[in-house]
Amino acid sequence: MHNHPHTETNTNRAVARRGQEYFVAEVDETGLGAVDAVPDDRAPSNQWTEAWHALRRRPLFWISAILIVLAVAMALFPGLFASVDPRECMLSRSLHPAESGHPFGFDRQGCDIYARTIYGARASVTVGVLTTLIVTLLGTLIGAIAGFYGGIWDTLLSRLTDIFFAVPLVLAAIVVMSMMKGQRSIWMVVFALSMFGWTQIARITRGAVMSVKNEEFVTAARALGASNPRIIISHILPNAAAPIIVYATVALGTFIVAEATLSFLGIGLPTTVVSWGGDISAAQASLRTQPMVLFYPAIALALTVLSFIMMGDAVRDALDPKARKR
């Protein structure tokens, strides 16, 4: 009979080996919601607020804004800048150099160049602003209908837009103004430019509306019983406005150039209206002997157009999220 060594087994007692210790945390009474909550009392930001914050930091915006305010002030209140009548011309002062009270000298007809440069802003800015307003309203209306309703409306309006888009703006305006020789006025120039200037805004609006119309807030508005015109005006257009505003700002500059081109060619505004294009055209004859007679109105025109184009660029960069991150 073999004697086995007595082995003591204690299965009821757990022996913790090194590295196997563990700890149980106390029960969290506060809850994760209270721990992770971040206090945020700020008003919800939107695209326009962020764009304004981005614009304020850009020198380009402030430079263009100052130039635009100056051009608009010259158009509205030319008497604040020049006390001389721009139509008061004396041949005895023809091409005289600058003197006291006449800082830019006189043109070939003996008119004060400084006064004519200041008063010339009114015609150009008026044509630019009125044409831009009409073009924006017409283009937005056509583009919104084509983009929102689609189908036959989209086909018809897109083909109509293509027909007008195929005709160059200045060439079309030259033809219209040549037909209306006896009725030349600021309103006629605005009509001629508006007739063919709306196509680009219509295309931009159509694309913007098509990208917005399937968003959830539009579906929610329709579910609440809103009519189609109300959905377009209250919900879609405010969210599709950014590219329209950017293009309209740049287009304003191009319409000012178009007006100056028509006046330069002698088929724009009548000679009784002081305009930069007309003065540039009249100054051609003395370009070799007195080049500054032409340069003063040309510089005023260039700075005004440049300010609107720079403003359009600044606004586009501020409204474009991709540009903001660059």
Query: What are 155-182's pLDDT values in tens digits?
Result: 999 999 999 999 999 999 999 999 988 7
The per-residue pLDDT for 31 is 58
Is the pLDDT at 323 greater than 60? The verdict is no
| pLDDT (average), residues 218-234 | 90
* Band (326; pLDDT cuts 50, 70, 90): low
Residue 258: HSE in the Cβ half-sphere, 13 Å Cα cutoff: 29
Q: Which residue has the tokens 């020789």?
A: 181
Q: In this predicted model, what pLDDT tens digit does every residue of 41-77 receive, in sequence order? A: 555 667 788 888 888 888 999 999 999 999 999 999 9
* Band (321; pLDDT cuts 50, 70, 90): low
Is the pLDDT at 17 greater than 60? The verdict is yes
Proportion of the chain above pLDDT 70, given as a percent? 87
| pLDDT (average), residues 221-237 | 90
d(CA 132, CA 142): 15
Contact 160, 222 (CB under 8 A): no
* Band (244; pLDDT cuts 50, 70, 90): very high
Q: Which residues have C-beta within 8 Å of that of residue 196, sequence separation ≥ 6?
A: 164, 167, 169, 172, 173
Q: Compare 275 and 181 and report the one with higher pLDDT.
A: 275
Q: Compare 34 and 96 and report the one with higher pLDDT.
A: 96
Q: Compare 319 and 325 and report the one with higher pLDDT.
A: 319
Q: Compare 7 and 65 and report the one with higher pLDDT.
A: 65
**Alpha helices (runs of H) in 77-224, residue ranges in sequence order:** 113-149, 151-165, 169-179, 186-197, 199-212, 216-223
Lowest pLDDT segment from 37-41, 97-101, 192-196, 306-310? 37-41
**Three-state secondary-structure class, residue 106:** strand
Q: Which residue has the tokens 């359009």?
A: 312
| pLDDT (average), residues 195-213 | 93
The per-residue pLDDT for 45 is 62
Output phi, psi for 102, to 5 deg: -135, 75
- Domains along the chain? 47-325 (1.10.3720.10)
Identify the CA nearest to 204 among candidates 255, 230, 243, 178. Answer: 243
Is the pLDDT at 205 greater than 80? The verdict is yes
d(CA 67, CA 307): 6
The per-residue pLDDT for 54 is 84
CB atoms within 10 A of CB 98: 13
Q: Compare 48 and 311 and report the one with higher pLDDT.
A: 311
d(CA 203, CA 165): 10
CB atoms within 10 A of CB 229: 10
Contact 251, 266 (CB under 8 A): no
Q: Identify the helix (H) or strand (E) that includes residue 76.
A: helix 59-76
The per-residue pLDDT for 324 is 53
Q: In this predicted model, what pLDDT tens digit does every residue of 90-115 receive, in sequence order? A: 888 888 887 888 888 888 888 889 99
* Band (14; pLDDT cuts 50, 70, 90): low
The per-residue pLDDT for 96 is 83
Is the pLDDT at 297 greater than 90? The verdict is yes
The pTM is what?
A: 0.80
- Amino acid in the structure at residue 246: V
Q: Using alpha carbons, list the distances in angstroms from residue 158 to 72, 194, 204, 206.
A: 35, 18, 12, 9
